[in-house]
């Protein structure tokens, strides 16, 4: 298939690009390289350095005429969205709208949107949290992804595109940026390997659902063939506290220092883990990577510093 991905130079997008190229698809990556890295894009993919807000995006998408589009480009940090909500909204809302209009003009058949399950539902009143839970984001980031989803539904309905929305839990794995503000696994692991102090925000009893990047890629690949439109949580259904995560990473890295503590951050959810039974049923998807194995692979990649 001819496939176009936005955000394909980033953490999750570059793994998805690898998998799509390996499966024999013709892949175009659109990425402005704001957080993504050129060297993460495999040689078999065609990289176009472009902002998704660029009016020329329509010309590009029409020219490439992809059968399917995966939309991963985003401003993807809760804490930065609290500081700069306008920038977050520009990229995640207006950028998504610009891309959707380009896809409608190009007659794209299927649109797969990377959304969030961790920041969309707010503080869930049922756990594990399923897709029917009310959407009550606590952060501008969560609000912008919710809005992105609404535009996906609206423009897909207008133009007859199939739309698959994947709501990820906390994704972790090799290539996640340890210098960024999101991605607690990469941040902790890199600091531990360097023997530097590690800061836990709050008491560390906040719980998250950590899903390995290869499993997220698998959900995307299955979405290419999924029968119709759908909205799916992509998570493990298991809550892990930040303190437990700290302990696992300390074991994997041989870190002996105690964590430091700082006040909780605004916009962060206290406890969330996702019910992914709809993805099991309809995409035949299940997470396959146990946390210890995923942590081991992540630590190993940071140790060697290899991009691929």
Residues labelled catalytic: 141
Closest separation between CB of residue 144 and ligand NAD, Å? 9
Which of 20, 61, 68, 74 touches ligand NAD by CB under 6 A?
Answer: 74
Which of 3, 4, 5, 12 touches ligand NAD by CB under 6 A?
Answer: 12
The per-residue DSSP string of 229-287 comes to -EEEEES-S--EEHHHHHHHHHHHHT--SPPEEEPPPTT--SB--B--HHHHHHH----
Which of 18, 25, 36, 233 touches ligand NAD by CB under 6 A?
Answer: 36
Token pair for 175: 């290539």
**What is d(CA 143, CA 24) in angstroms, rounded to the nearest whole number?**
36
Scanning residues 88 to 107, which ones bind ligand NAD (CB under 6 A)? 91, 95
Under the binding rule (CB under 6 A), the answer on residue 7 touching ligand NAD is yes
Backbone angles phi, psi at 213, to 5 degrees: -60, -35
Return all residues near 281 (Cβ < 8 A) that are at least 6 apart. none
Closest separation between CB of residue 176 and ligand NAD, Å? 7
Which of 45, 47, 76, 272 touches ligand NAD by CB under 6 A?
Answer: 76
Residue 67 CB burial class (10 angstroms; 0-12, 13-18, ≥19):
middle
Scanning residues 120 to 179, which ones bind ligand NAD (CB under 6 A)? 145, 168, 170-171
Under the binding rule (CB under 6 A), the answer on residue 53 touching ligand NAD is yes
Under the binding rule (CB under 6 A), the answer on residue 52 touching ligand NAD is yes
Cβ proximity to ligand NAD, 51 vs 268, nearer residue: 51
Cβ proximity to ligand NAD, 118 vs 259, nearer residue: 118
Check whether the bond before 275 is cis (ω within 30° of 0).
Answer: no
Closest separation between CB of residue 101 and ligand NAD, Å? 15
- Rg value, the chain, Cα: 18
Cβ proximity to ligand NAD, 32 vs 215, nearer residue: 32
Cβ proximity to ligand NAD, 24 vs 108, nearer residue: 108
Which of 23, 34, 197, 293 touches ligand NAD by CB under 6 A?
Answer: 34
Cβ proximity to ligand NAD, 260 vs 302, nearer residue: 302
Token pair for 234: 């992509």
Kindly state the number of chain residues that form the binding site for ligand NAD, as judged by CB under 6 A.
Answer: 30
Choices 73-81, 99-107, 126-134, 281-289; region in contact with ligand NAD by CB under 6 A: 73-81
Backbone angles phi, psi at 226, to 5 degrees: -55, 145
Q: Which helix (H) or strand (E) holds 227?
A: none
Closest separation between CB of residue 223 and ligand NAD, Å? 13
C-alpha distances (whole Å) from 8 to each of 28, 112, 186, 207, 305 are: 9, 13, 19, 29, 20
Residue 55 CB burial class (10 angstroms; 0-12, 13-18, ≥19):
exposed
Under the binding rule (CB under 6 A), the answer on residue 11 touching ligand NAD is yes
**What is d(CA 216, CA 165) in angstroms, rounded to the nearest whole number?**
12
Taking Cα atoms as reference points, which of 111, 113, 102 lies closest to residue 145? 113
Backbone angles phi, psi at 148, to 5 degrees: -55, -45
Q: Which residues bind ligand NAD (CB under 6 A)?
A: 6-7, 9-13, 31-36, 51-53, 72-76, 91, 95, 114, 116, 118, 145, 168, 170-171
């Amino acid at each position: 298939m001819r496939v176009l991905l936005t955000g394909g130079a980033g953490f999750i997008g570059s793994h998805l690009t690898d998998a799509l190229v390996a499966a024999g698809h013709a892949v175009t990556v659109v990425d402005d390289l704001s957080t993504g890295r050129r060297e993460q894009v495999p040689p078999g993919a065609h990289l176009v350095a472009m902002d998704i807000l660029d009016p020329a995006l329509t010309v590009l998408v029409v020219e490439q005429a992809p059968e399917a589009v995966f939309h991963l480009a985003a401003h993807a940090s809760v804490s930065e969205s609290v500081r700069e909500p306008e920038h977050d909204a520009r990229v995640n809302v207006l950028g998504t709208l610009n891309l959707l209009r380009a896809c409608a003009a190009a007659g794209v058949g299927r649109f797969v949107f990377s959304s969030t399950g961790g920041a969309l539902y707010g503080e869930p009143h049922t756990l594990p949290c399923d897709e029917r839970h009310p959407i009550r984001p606590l952060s501008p980031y969560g609000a912008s992804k919710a809005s992105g989803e609404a535009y996906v539904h609206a423009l897909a309905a207008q133009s007859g595109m199939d739309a698959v929305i994947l709501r990820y839990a906390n994704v972790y794995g090799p290539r996640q940026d340890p210098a960024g503000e999101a991605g607690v696994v990469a941040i902790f692991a890199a600091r531990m390997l360097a023997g530097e102090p590690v800061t836990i925000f709050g008491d560390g009893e906040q719980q998250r659902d950590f899903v390995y990047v290869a499993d997220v890629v698998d959900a995307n690949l299955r979405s290419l063939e999924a029968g119709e439109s759908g909205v799916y949580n992509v998570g493990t259904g298991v809550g892990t506290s930040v303190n437990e995560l700290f302990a696992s990473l300390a074991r994997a890295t041989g870190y002996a220092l105690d964590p430091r503590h700082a006040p909780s951050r605004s916009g962060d959810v206290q406890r969330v883990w996702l019910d992914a039974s709809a993805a099991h049923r309809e995409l035949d998807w299940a997470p396959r990577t146990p946390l210890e194995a995923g942590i081991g692979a992540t630590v190993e990649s940071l140790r060697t510093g290899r991009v691929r």
